[in-house]
Structure formats: C-alpha cells, structure tokens
C-alpha cells in the first residue's frame, strides 16, 4: 500500500513514530509532507497564538536538541520504543527517512497547490494525518482510500478538542478512534474504536494524552494492516445531526477532569502499553 | 433632529469643558488600537485565568458605586468626552438586583445601602399610572414599557430583600400598568413602546412580570408574562435567529439579541416552560459555536446571524455569558459552562485595572472603544451584566459537584 504521512513539522514525534511503526510493518511510507517550522507566517501566527515566551520555549525544545553533545529528550516518552529502537533517538522525520529511504517534503500549508501537487506525485492509497492544517476537500480527494486520522476520543460520542478531558468529565470511556477525515470536525467514517485499557496507569492529563497518542500510533498499524488485507471497511457515523462537538477546555474544567482522573486512578498492573 | 445635533455638540465640546479627560481618551484609543493589532484569535485563547474573577467583580461594583449620583440614581455612562451622565432610571432599576446579589455573596453592606438608596429614588419617579419614565432623568417624561419592566425587576427584588410595603405597592402598580396596556397578541406597542413598535426584546418585561407573579403569588402577572413569551417565541426562526427586535436606524446589536434570549430564558425558568428553554438553547448554541470558532461575538448581526460587524459589544458578550451559565444550570451541559468561563476571561482582559473614576473597573460599550455601540463610553449596564455573569460563575463553580456529572445529558 502506498502511504503518505502528513505532519505538523519535521520534528513532530508522532509523525516520526508513525513512520517507524509503518516501516516496521514493512509499509515504508512513499513520502512525508511536513509543515515548515520557521517560515515568517508560521512564526507570526505562533507569536500571536502563544506569545514570545512560549515560542522561545518551543524553539529551545525543538531546535536545541539537535546539538549532538546534549542528551536528546522526548516530549512523549511513550513513543520511545518506536523512536529509540537501537539506542539512537530519531529527532526528525528526515532522520527516520534517512534510515528507511523515503522522501520528506516541506510546505507552508498542506492545502497549498504545491503541497497538493507533491501529494499527487506520490499517488498515495492512504494518507495518515498526524497534524497540521485543517484539510480541504482538494487534499482529501488525493488518496485512493482516504485520509486517516486518530482521534483521541471515542466517536461519535466526543468530537472536537480536549477529547480525553471531556471523556473524563462526561464519564465516557477514554479511548481512540481511527477514522477517515471528511469535511466536518471528526465526523468521517469510522474504521475502528479502541477503548484505552483502564488497567494502565495514568499519572496526569498530559500523561494520559501521551499514552493515548502512543496507543493510537500502535493501533493505526493494526488498521493499516487490516485495510491492506481488505478485512475492514469504514462505517459512516450515526447521529451526525446531533451537535456532539466539544471545544477547547478552560483550565478550571481541566482541573476538574484531572481530579476525576486522580479519583479513578488504579494501581498500575500493566505499565505502559509499549513496555 | 435638533435633539441629535445638540447631543453631538455636547459630546463634541465635552473635552473643552473637561480637558483633564484628553489624556485618558488618547490612552484608551492607543491601547485599543494596539490591542486590535495583536489580538489573540486562536484555539487556546481565554482558556487560562489571568485575573481572578473576585478582583474584577470588586472593581465592577466599585465602578457602579462611584456612578451612583447624589439623587440615588445610577449614571447611564461615563463618557471619555463628557464624563458622567445623569442618573438613568431604567438601569438603576435592574442594577438593584446586582447590588443585592453582590451584598448577599460578599456581605458588603455598601452595596446593600446603595440598593436601598436607588430603590427610594426610583419610587419617587413613579407616575400616577404606575409607569416609569423613559430616558435619562430629567430629559424625557413619557411613560415607557421597557423601562417600567426593567425597574420592576429592582422593585420586586427590593421587596423580597426588605419586605418594604412601598416597594411592593410600587411593583404592583407598575405591573398593573403593564397589564393594562398589553396588546391582545401579548406584545407591547403604541406610544409607550420604543419607536411605537412592538419588540421581542421586551421579553425582559415578561421576566419582570413573571418575577412579580412569583413574589406575590398573583397568577395574573404570570399569565401576562406567558402571553408575551408566546408572542416572542413565534419570532424564533429555524436558524436560531429572532425576528422582531425592530430598532429603526440601528443595526441589531448583540445587546438586544441577548436581551431577547435572557428574558425568554429567565421567564421560561420561572414559568417552567421547557419549550421556551429549548428555543433559547438553540439560539444560544449558534452563538456559542460562533464564539468558540471566532473567539468573539460580533457587536451586531444581520438576519440569521449573517455578516457579523467587526466590533464587539462587550455588554452583549456579558449577557451571553449569563445565558450560557443559566443554560448550564438548567441542562447540565458543560459546554455552556466552558464557553461562559472563556468569555468571562476575555471580558476580564478588557476591564481597566487602573485609571480615574469612571474608567477603572468600567465596561466600555464597544471594543474597540470607537465601535458603533455606545462609542467612547463606559456604560453602567455593561458593568451590571458582567458582574451578574461573574456572580453566576462564582455560584455555579462553587456548587460544582462531580457526582452530578454521572448522568450528564448532551446539549443537543
């Protein structure tokens, strides 16, 4: 199967881990398209969004580790088994691509004509989205099968942002959904839903989120294999008329979700899924 | 027209009469210009608390106390050009409820005293018919349906707080007058209505009548409130838009859209009308999605919420916060609470922490301050609605019970 990965930047740990996971299944991507990290537009947008201090922190976290004399650190430690297979940490898509021999292209906007031309050139059966822009129909129409996304919540119950936190507050099981992207927000056909095993410890909301991301990367591999064998087919979502979209959560509610997580915390039986 | 010319002249020459206002005016214009350039419009806007709600709430109430005139009425606004206005009976009426709420929540006697003074002044303005005059004090002496309804809110609350016979009598007289001129379809029109036309935002009057009915156990006022409620509900469109706001010569400001929703919702809660709650929830959800997507609500909209104007009406935002908080209160849908917490964070950022009297703690009519709704003014009803929103936020977050979340309904 011809697979392309879309990433929010070449330093995206999720995009790197996804590429490694596919390569380990002998499904080496035919290409990866990442958003440019340091173009003027992105920089201005990030300055407006995050403020100067956060942008400086981001730059320090992402760019400084490139120095060989510093011990590299992972933001999401649960991706370590994929990103650190032989003791030498993958720090960018370029490094993963170097080992597994696939091209990496950079763009300013994943919906731009240049990006679409590049995607068409790779002629993918499947695009796996790990981050970037809200995709327009012109991009969604490129792959033969569709653009696949891992949503960090169970669809159709919890659509939109902060899904793990909303799941906790609404008492919906925490989990992930692998689905195709369509024009709506998390409304595309579902390929597979996975509840996150409640025997696995979750130390905090960010810890839970990181575990879910790693869980998602692992499960996407299973879905790709099933798609390759033709043993899975997408199921359109029900209740599309009901507005089940959730929005970015205010910190006060996040604190309540964290309290609920703390109350529901169980002794770690299985450790991480990747162990 | 001569009235408008005289108003424009007064505003225009305000700085000549008060040159000390030049510097604050320039500061505000520059500050809003810079703010609009570097405005944060992203998914993560307003999700963190930068100013504690208690601090802002206190500053809002201080602004209102400062705006109380020697006669006991509250000024309508502090203009950056002309300073404080005359007392405004309508706003004084419904600010009374906020003053009592604040006193109850904080034990601050000053606001209780201010409410009592305001109540006495209001009763002195009542006409023999039971009506109250429209406009600023001393400017207009025509009876006004809307202003009478808004003042009725304060009279009912004053009666409930103090059990004063005077407040009860005044409230009943106002209620009787409203019933006497209500049209057979439930609306109010004629010379006592603004621009002599019926308006759906008079749902605020129904709310006041429903409150009177509840407080003195007289169903006549409740039935009249429901009659108007039915008339207003007939103007709700499938898009969530509400027709019949009917302001000739003005765009449909967010303030008036929110008035309709708030009046219908509160009246519906008092009268246990689930159909009306559902109608408000539908409109409020449309606005919630707009706020979550755009990070602000437009200062005015065209029909069906199209073509939002570029400025923001801060008062309308505060009123929508109240509506979302009350919808959370009655439905348990946390998305309303989430949106209200975020819009309150946004509004807190617009409240000046420093400045002279009339500016510090004030809510400007528009953001930027030169926007079309009450330009270059800090308005007392903006402070009132934002204080209401913060008091509601305080009550609902303090009583937040995780166990209640077990059986949460979805909003839709």
Does the residue A90 lie in any domain? yes
Residues from chain B that touch A249, judged by Cβ atoms under 8 A, are 47, 338
A241: nearest CA partner in chain B:
B412
Residues from chain A that touch B41, judged by Cβ atoms under 8 A, are 48
| Cα–Cα distance, B317 to B319 (Å, whole number) | 5
Q: Tens place of pLDDT for every residue, chain B, 412 residues?
A: 556 677 777 777 877 788 888 888 888 888 888 888 776 666 667 888 889 999 999 999 999 999 999 999 999 999 998 899 999 999 999 999 999 999 999 999 999 999 999 999 999 999 999 999 987 877 767 899 999 999 999 999 999 999 999 999 999 999 999 999 999 999 999 888 888 889 999 999 999 999 999 999 999 999 999 999 999 999 999 999 999 998 888 999 999 999 999 999 999 999 999 999 999 999 999 999 999 988 889 999 999 999 888 899 999 999 999 999 999 999 999 999 999 999 999 999 999 998 889 999 999 999 998 889 988 899 999 999 999 999 999 999 998 875 555 444 333 3
DSSP per residue, B34-103: HHHHS---STTTT-S-SS-HHHHHHHHHHHHHHTB-TTSPBBSEEETTTEE--B-HHHHHHHHHHHHHHH
Residues from chain A that touch B325, judged by Cβ atoms under 8 A, are none
Contact check, Cβ <8 Å, A250/B292: no
Domain ranges of chain B: 69-234, 272-400
| Cα–Cα distance, A211 to A203 (Å, whole number) | 10
Q: Report which DSSP code applies to B406.
A: G
CA angle A159, A161, A163 (to 5 degrees): 65
Q: How far is CA B303 from CA B236, B246, B307, B367, in A?
A: 11, 12, 8, 22
CB A158 within 8 A of CB A35: no
| Cα–Cα distance, B350 to B199 (Å, whole number) | 30
Per residue in A19-37, pLDDT tens?
999 999 999 999 999 998 7
A256: nearest CA partner in chain B:
B402
Per residue in A154-202, pLDDT tens?
999 999 999 999 999 999 999 999 999 999 899 999 999 999 987 667 7
- Write down the pTM of the prediction: 0.90
pLDDT at B248: 86
Fold of B69-234: Glycosyltransferase (1.50.10)
Closest to B153 in 3D by CA, of B108, B119, B179, B128: B119
Residue with structure tokens 């008060």? B18
Residues from chain A that touch B292, judged by Cβ atoms under 8 A, are 247-248
Q: How far is CA A243 from CA A84, A194, B149, B337, B343, in A?
A: 41, 22, 36, 16, 21
| Cα–Cα distance, B152 to B149 (Å, whole number) | 5
Residues from chain A that touch B48, judged by Cβ atoms under 8 A, are 251
φ, ψ (nearest 5 deg) of residue B308: -65, 135
Domain of residue A94, CATH code: 3.40.50.170
Interface size between A and B, measured as CB pairs under 8 A: 63
Does the residue A272 lie in any domain? no
pLDDT at A268: 44
Contact check, Cβ <8 Å, B38/A48: yes
For residue A245, the Cα-to-chain-centroid distance in whole angstroms is: 19
CA angle B391, B396, B397 (to 5 degrees): 100
CA angle A186, A188, A192 (to 5 degrees): 90
Whether A242 contacts chain B with CB within 8 A: yes
Does the residue A273 lie in any domain? no
Mean pLDDT of A45-73: 68
pLDDT at B195: 84
Residues from chain A that touch B36, judged by Cβ atoms under 8 A, are none
Share the mean pLDDT of chain A.
Answer: 87
In our burial notation (b when 16+ CB lie closer than 10 A, e otherwise), range B119-144 reads: bebbbebbeeebbbbbbbbeeeeebb
Candidate from B41, B47, B412 with C-beta closest to A249: B47
CA terminus-to-terminus distance, chain A: 28
Does the residue A124 lie in any domain? yes
Beta pairing class for A31-35 and A104-107: parallel
Per residue in A240-269, pLDDT tens?
777 889 999 999 999 999 998 888 765 444
pLDDT at B4: 65
Is A274 a residue whose pLDDT tops 70? no
Residue B39, min C-alpha distance to chain A (Å): 7
Contact check, Cβ <8 Å, B43/A169: no
Contact check, Cβ <8 Å, B46/A250: yes
A161: nearest CA partner in chain B:
B43
pLDDT at A272: 38
In our burial notation (b when 16+ CB lie closer than 10 A, e otherwise), range B254-267 reads: bbbbbbbbbbbbbb
Residue B290, min C-alpha distance to chain A (Å): 11
pLDDT at A66: 53
Whether A134 contacts chain B with CB within 8 A: no
Candidate from A50, A170, A244 with C-beta closest to B408: A170
The tokens describing A48, both together, are: 């407006």
CB B343 within 8 A of CB B317: yes
pLDDT at A275: 29
pLDDT at A48: 67
Candidate from A49, A244, A256 with C-beta closest to B402: A256
Whether A253 contacts chain B with CB within 8 A: yes
| Cα–Cα distance, B305 to B252 (Å, whole number) | 10
Candidate from B41, B49, B405 with C-beta closest to A169: B405
pLDDT at B411: 39
Contact check, Cβ <8 Å, A250/B411: no
pLDDT at A68: 55
More confident of the two residues A275 and B302: B302
Closest to A163 in 3D by CA, of A239, A236, A245: A245
**Residue of A242, A247, A260 to mutate, interface with B, max B Cβ within 10 Å:** A247
Instruction: Please report how many Cα atoms fall inside a 13 Å half-sphere around the Cα of residue A250, on the Cβ side.
Output: 21
Beta pairing class for B312-313 and B366-367: antiparallel
Contact check, Cβ <8 Å, B42/A250: no
Does the residue A195 lie in any domain? yes
For residue A85, the Cα-to-chain-centroid distance in whole angstroms is: 20
pLDDT at A271: 40
Q: How many domains does chain A have?
A: 1
Boundaries of domain holding A120? 3-264
Residue B153, min C-alpha distance to chain A (Å): 32
Q: Report which DSSP code applies to A271.
A: -
Q: How far is CA A112 from CA A136, A251, B404, in A?
A: 10, 34, 47
Candidate from B48, B338, B408 with C-beta closest to A247: B338
Candidate from A49, A251, A253 with C-beta closest to B334: A253
Using DSSP, state whether A179 is helix, strand or coil: strand
pLDDT at B21: 83
Q: Where are the alpha helices (DSSP H) in chain A?
A: 13-24, 40-50, 52-63, 80-83, 93-100, 113-122, 137-140, 163-169, 205-229, 251-264
Contact check, Cβ <8 Å, A251/B405: no
pLDDT at B295: 86
Mean pLDDT of A79-90: 82
pLDDT at B227: 97
Contact check, Cβ <8 Å, B43/A248: yes
Whether A170 contacts chain B with CB within 8 A: yes
């Amino acid at each position: 199967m011809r697979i392309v990965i879309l990433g929010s930047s070449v330093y995206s740990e999720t995009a790197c881990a996804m590429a490694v996971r596919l390569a380990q299944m002998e499904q080496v991507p035919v290409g990866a398209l990442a958003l440019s990290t340091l173009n003027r537009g992105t920089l201005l947008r990030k300055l407006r969004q995050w403020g100067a201090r956060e942008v400086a922190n981001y730059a320090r976290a992402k760019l400084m580790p490139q120095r060989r004399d510093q011990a590299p650190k992972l933001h999401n430690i649960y991706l370590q088994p994929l990103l650190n297979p032989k003791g030498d940490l993958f720090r960018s898509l370029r490094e993963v691509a170097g080992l597994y021999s696939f091209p990496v292209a950079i763009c300013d906007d994943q919906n731009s004509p240049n990006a679409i031309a590049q995607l068409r050139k790779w002629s993918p059966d499947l695009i796996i989205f790990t981050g970037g822009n809200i995709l327009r129909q012109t991009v969604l129409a490129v792959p033969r099968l569709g653009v696949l996304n891992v949503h960090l919540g169970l669809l159709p119950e919890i659509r939109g942002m902060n899904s793990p936190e909303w799941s906790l507050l609404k008492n919906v099981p925490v989990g992930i959904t692998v689905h195709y992207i369509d024009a709506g927000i998390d409304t595309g056909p579902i390929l597979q839903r996975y509840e996150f095993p409640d025997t696995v410890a979750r130390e905090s909301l960010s810890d839970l989120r990181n575990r879910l991301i790693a869980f998602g990367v692992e499960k996407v591999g299973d879905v790709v294999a099933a798609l390759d064998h033709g043993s899975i087919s997408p199921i359109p979502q029900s209740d599309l008329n009901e507005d089940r979209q959730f929005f970015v959560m205010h910190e006060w509610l996040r604190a309540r979700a964290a309290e609920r997580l703390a109350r529901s915390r169980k002794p770690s039986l299985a450790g991480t899924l990747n162990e | 027209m001569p009235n408008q010319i005289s108003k424009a002249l007064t505003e225009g020459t305000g700085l000549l009469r008060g040159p000390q206002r030049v510097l604050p005016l320039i500061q505000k214009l520059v500050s809003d210009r810079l703010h609009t350039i570097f405005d944060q419009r992203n998914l993560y806007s307003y999700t963190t608390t930068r100013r504690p709600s208690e601090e802002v709430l206190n500053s809002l109430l201080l602004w209102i106390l400062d705006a109380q005139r020697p006669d006991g009425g509250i000024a309508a606004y502090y203009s950056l050009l002309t300073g404080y206005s005359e007392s405004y009976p309508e706003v004084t009426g419904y600010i009374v409820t906020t003053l009592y709420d604040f006193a109850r929540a904080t034990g601050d006697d000053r606001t209780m005293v201010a409410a009592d003074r305001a109540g006495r002044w209001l009763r002195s303005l009542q006409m023999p018919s039971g009506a109250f005059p429209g406009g600023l004090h001393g400017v207009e002496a025509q009876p006004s349906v809307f202003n009478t309804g808004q003042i009725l809110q304060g009279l009912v609350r004053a009666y409930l707080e103090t059990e004063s016979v005077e407040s009860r009598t005044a409230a009943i007289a106002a209620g009787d007058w409203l019933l006497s001129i209500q049209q057979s379809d439930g609306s109010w029109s004629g010379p006592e209505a603004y621009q002599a036309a019926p308006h759906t935002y008079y749902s605020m009057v129904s709310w006041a009548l429903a409150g009177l009915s509840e407080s003195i156990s007289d169903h006549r006022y409740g039935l009249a409130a429901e009659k108007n409620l039915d008339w207003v509900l007939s103007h709700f469109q499938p898009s969530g838009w509400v027709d019949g706001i009917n302001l000739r010569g003005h765009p449909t400001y967010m303030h008036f859209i929110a008035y309709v929703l708030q009046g219908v919702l509160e009246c519906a809660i008092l009268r246990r009308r689930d159909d009306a709650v559902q109608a408000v929830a539908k409109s409020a959800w449309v606005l919630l999605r707009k706020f979550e997507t755009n990070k602000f609500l437009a200062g005015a909209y065209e029909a069906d919420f199209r073509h939002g104007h570029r400025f923001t009406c801060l008062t309308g935002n505060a009123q929508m916060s109240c509506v979302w908080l009350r919808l959370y209160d009655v439905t348990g849908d946390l998305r309303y609470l989430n949106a209200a917490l975020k819009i309150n964070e946004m509004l807190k950022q617009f409240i000046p922490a420093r400045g002279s009297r009339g500016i510090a703690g004030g809510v400007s009519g528009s953001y930027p301050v030169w926007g079309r709704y009450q330009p270059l003014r800090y308005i007392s009803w903006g402070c009132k609605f934002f204080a209401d929103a913060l008091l509601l936020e305080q009550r609902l977050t303090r009583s937040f019970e995780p166990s209640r979340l077990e059986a949460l309904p979805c909003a839709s």
